[in-house]
Structure 1
Amino acid sequence: MKILVTGAKGFVGKNLVAQLKNLGYNEIYEYDREAEEKLLYDYTKECDFVYHLAGVNRPQSEEEYMEGNYGFTRKLIEALIQNENRAPILYASSIQAELDNPYGRSKKAAEDLLFEFEKNHGNKVLVYRLPNLFGKWSRPNYNSVVATFCYNIANDLPIEIRDPNVVLRLVYIDDVVDEFIRAMNGQETRKGQFCEIPRAYTIRLGDLAEMIYSFKQACEDLSVPKLSDEFVKKLHATYLSYLPKDKFGYKLKMNVDHRGSFTEFLKTPDRGQISINIIKPGIVKGNHWHNTKNEKFLVVSGKGVIRLRRVDSSEVIEYHVSGEELQVVDIPPGYTHNIENTGDADMVVIIWANEPFDPNKPDTYYLEV
């Protein structure tokens, strides 16, 4: 299939083109405002499907709205007619088309032109009135409050909130792209005359800002937000895409002594904590037990032995472990336990605990195995 994408360098266009290529579509005609106008004629001669994403939303004058949105749509249609091409057209319109403002009127005029084209020439037309979009590669301080908040907060810049109670309706870019690709394959989501993205989220502006600030704090205290919430997961991924390049990496606090080191890596509110334990040769660590806390040990380098004993029993259970044959050993509550490095090199252990460490309630009691 040969696919024409107008506005290919825009926010939606870049994400769509990237995913089409991921899925193996190799004949993609990328048309943008810098391209020669003749290319539009050439592309409409060959294409089997048109994603019409090009548009104007921040012009120098109001007249540019109509010229960029309605005018370019007319050029696209004329090129298809000249080439006698019956390719379907998917048009990225806006919920602003319902409003009486210069931008909305220009998008509505383009919609009407496309529906008239469908009626007269038979090309299938799919019109999506998109709400506010968010996701990677959206330009901050342009037309996306999510992009602006994510960029400014990640870069220690202030944000402006005029009314924290304004309710936003948001759609995630990957959901847009998935729907657009389904539409190309004849599986669009219809709502009357128009099509829609089937998954959307609503949030107060003030709550949005608060959530993004919490992501920034999470990076600083090693925590991870509750990613079982679909919107939180998508917004968190969006925030990370705006991190400045010098903040991709950050150092961890290593608690070092003669036995090796212990370093906290990740903490979650509902999925526990991951830490890295490095143990020197011949060293034994542990000899303690927990009432409720439970752990999983995974040796990824070196070799050693994990010993466990139920606190009311004399029976010692041993697991010989090695980075050469990975296995997880569960440490149940009520079992005192230790781990010994029996090799001649440092042993590296990944430890998962069911809860982040709380110094006020450590639930850790010394007892020799």
Structure 2
Amino acid sequence: MINVLVTGAGGFIGKNLVDRLHRKKGIIVNQYYRGDDLSQLYQHLSNADVVYHLAGVNRPKHNEEFARVNKGLTQSIVNYLSDQQKTPTIVFSSSAQAELNTPYGLSKKDAEEVLKNFGKDTGADVKIYRLPGVFGKWCKPHYNSVVATFCHEITHGNDIDIHDPDKVLELVYIDDVVDSFLECLHQEKSEETFYYHTKQTFHITVGELAHTLYKIRDMRESLIIPDLSEKLTKYLYTTYLSYLDTNNFSYNLPAYEDERGSLVELIKSHQAGQIFMSTSRKGVIRGNHYHHTKVEKFCVIKGKASIKLRNIDSDDVITYIVSDQNIQVVDIPPGYTHSIENITYDEIIVLFWANELFNPDNPDTYYLEVHNRENDQKKG
């Protein structure tokens, strides 16, 4: 068993780290919170194999609190460990601002020096992470993350203040931080450095950050999801959703209705096409057209349907009978005219995927009846 102590357990990084630690086998997690008595800290330190020292202040009411908390608490930890002749692994969340001549930056640098001296004097394994702007779920807005502040304000319909849109931000995602911290549980001591780095960071201007978050906000109307293959965009999208109020998780979609049934667009993507659904009443036939480049997938999730396809250069009709009793996906290749018919007494519901967004100026859709010939090749 590994005894772990997390200081600052109630903070942004601490909450995410503790959650992950609790899900690992062979770990006993002790937590030290702001306002806890120092005696509790010392009790946890007595048994600690690994100390994640995350406690600190970013925006105190008075500047002297920087030194009192950021350096002072670190000094208290080191003094106790030295007195007890204990040398646990210490993982310290410092800040990239330790390179700046500000009260906060100086207090972080001083805390680093305290830990480095402890490591040199005792041989303890000290791992220091100078983190840039950390973002992700549970980060407090208007405190230490512009991403959290922007997400909170935009999700609540407020304007955001941008003083310098060209300012470049260096960001790191919370899960990447936690991944790196967890590796420290079994990572060997480095004889060359006290400083460690997360596996990746991101760079974006303030203006680009705001633009990306507004595009994410507007997805509810445009239905266009961002390019989630780009990791920063994926992490920003995830983070943005975590700031929605609980009464704002859902949103309405317009339904286009006629005598056949209804059609609703669900998701659109410039990279992955679009997903939509339709309902069809008894006997309704949709389609009877083909595409040159566009391809589709049909999936009946309620009811029973007959999907017919015919290569436009052939008289042979291929029929697939599909239903919600055996969920299948039917691919619609280019150059095949196709149709789908409701063959039940109730309405059917069908999910569709197309590999490109519908373009009314170039719909790539050409009417041609499939026909129902005696030489149908039945499938499914």
Q: TM-score, normalised by structure 2?
A: 0.93
Q: Which residue of structure 2 aligns with residue 136 of structure 1?
A: 137
Which amino acid in the other structure matches residue 162 of structure 1? Answer: H
* Change beyond 3 A, Cα 1:208–1:126: same
Find the counterpart in structure 1 of residue 350 from structure 2.
Answer: 349
Q: Kindly state the Cα deviation for residue 207 of structure 1 after the two structures are TM-superposed.
A: 1.1
Instruction: Work out the CA distance in 2 between the residues paired with 1:199 and 1:153.
Output: 26
Asked if residue 68 in structure 1 is aligned to residue 69 in structure 2, the reply is yes
Given that residues 125 and 189 in structure 2 are in contact (C-alpha distance below 8 angstroms), is that contact kept between their aligned partners in structure 1?
Answer: no
Q: Secondary structure at the match of 1:206?
A: helix
Q: Deviation string for 1:141-183 (max 9, x for gaps)?
A: 1121111111111211111111111111111111000011012
SS at match of 1:223: coil
SS in 2 for 1:233: helix
Deviates more, 1:256-265 or 1:135-144: 256-265
Q: How far, CA to CA, are the matches of 1:22 and 1:206 in structure 2?
A: 38
Change (3 A) 1:257 1:22: farther
1:146 aligns with 2:152: no
The letter of the residue matching 1:289 is Y
SS in 2 for 1:142: coil
CA contact (8 A) 1:190 1:196 kept: no
Q: Which amino acid aligns with 2:274?
A: Q
* Alpha-carbon contact 1:341-1:347 (below 8 Å) kept: yes
Look up the SS of the partner of 1:333 in the other structure: coil
1:219 paired residue number = 220
5+ long unaligned stretches in structure 2: 371-380
**Alignment partner, residue 313 of structure 1:** 314
Q: What is the one-letter code of the residue matched to 1:167?
A: V
Equivalent-residue separation in structure 1 for 2:12 and 2:188 (angstroms)? 23
Which residue of 2 is the match for residue 54 of structure 1?
55
AA aligned opposite 1:38: S
Q: How far apart are the structure 2 equivalents of 1:157 and 1:362?
A: 38
- Counterpart amino acid of 1:217? D
Q: CA deviation at 1:188?
A: 8.2
Alpha-carbon distance in structure 1 between the residues aligned to 2:134 and 2:17: 13
Shift of 1:25: 5.7
CA shift for structure 1 position 189: 9.2
CA separation in 2, counterparts of 1:100 and 1:215? 36
Task: Supply the distance in 1 between the matched residues of 2:188 and 2:287 (Cα, whole angstroms).
Answer: 58
What is the CA deviation profile of residues 276-311 of structure 1, one whole-angstrom value per residue up to 9, with x for unaligned ones? 122223222111111211100111221121000112
The one-letter code of the counterpart of 1:4 is L
Q: Give the Å deviation of 1:81.
A: 3.1
1:198 Cα deviation after fit: 2.2
Match of 1:295 in 2: 296
Q: Specify the code of the residue in structure 1 equivalent to 2:246.
A: K
Deviation at 1:26, TM superposition (A): 5.2
How far does residue 187 in structure 1 lie from its aligned partner after superposition? 6.0
Structure 1 residues 303 and 235, CA, compared in 2 at 3 Å: closer, same or farther? same
Tell me by how many angstroms 1:82 deviates.
4.0
Shift of 1:343: 2.2
- State the distance in 2 between where 1:56 and 1:157 align: 27
Deviation at 1:107, TM superposition (A): 0.9
Q: Tell me by how many angstroms 1:312 deviates.
A: 2.3
**Closer, same or farther in 2 for the Cα pair 1:235/1:25, shift >3 Å?**
farther
Q: Which residue of 2 aligns with 1:362?
A: 363
Q: Distance in 1 between matches of 2:145 and 2:169?
A: 11
Matched residues, number: 369
Deviations 1:114-148 (A, max 9, x none): 11111222221101111111111111111211111
Equivalent position SS for 1:28:
strand
Deviations 1:335-356 (A, max 9, x none): 1111112223322211000111
Residue identity opposite 2:352 in structure 1 = I
Q: 2: CA distance between counterparts of 1:224 and 1:128?
A: 34
Q: Give the distance between the partners of 2:219 and 2:60, measured in 1 at CA.
A: 38
2:126 paired residue number:
125
Match of 1:102 in 2: 103
Q: Distance in 2 between matches of 1:191 and 1:281?
A: 74
Structure 2 vs 1, CA of residues 296 and 153 (structure 1 numbering), >3 Å: closer, same or farther?
same
| C-alpha distance in structure 2 between counterparts of 1:110 and 1:344, whole Å | 74
- Would you say the 8 A contact 1:179–1:188 is kept in 2? no
Give the Cα separation in 2 of the matches to 1:213 and 1:225: 11
Aligned twin of 1:28: 29
1:84-130 CA distance string (max 9 Å, x none)? 33211000011111122211111111111111111222221101111
SS at match of 2:124: coil
Q: Which amino acid aligns with 1:277?
A: S
Give distance in 1, aligned partners of 2:273 and 2:184.
Answer: 41
231-240 or 20-29, which moves further after superposition? 20-29
Q: Counterparts of 1:61 and 1:190 in 2: how far apart (Å)?
A: 38
Give the 5 Å matches for 1:329-344. 329-344=330-345
Structure 1 residue ranges without an equivalent (≥5): none
Alignment TM-score, normalising by the size of structure 1: 0.95
Structure 2 residue matching 1:110: 3-state secondary structure: helix
Is residue 205 from structure 1 mapped to residue 224 from structure 2 by the alignment?
A: no
2:354 and 2:313 mapped to 1: Cα distance?
23
Alpha-carbon distance in 2 for matches of 1:322, 1:14: 46
Alpha carbons 1:188, 1:195 under 8 Å: kept: no
| Correspondence 1:92 to 2:84 | no
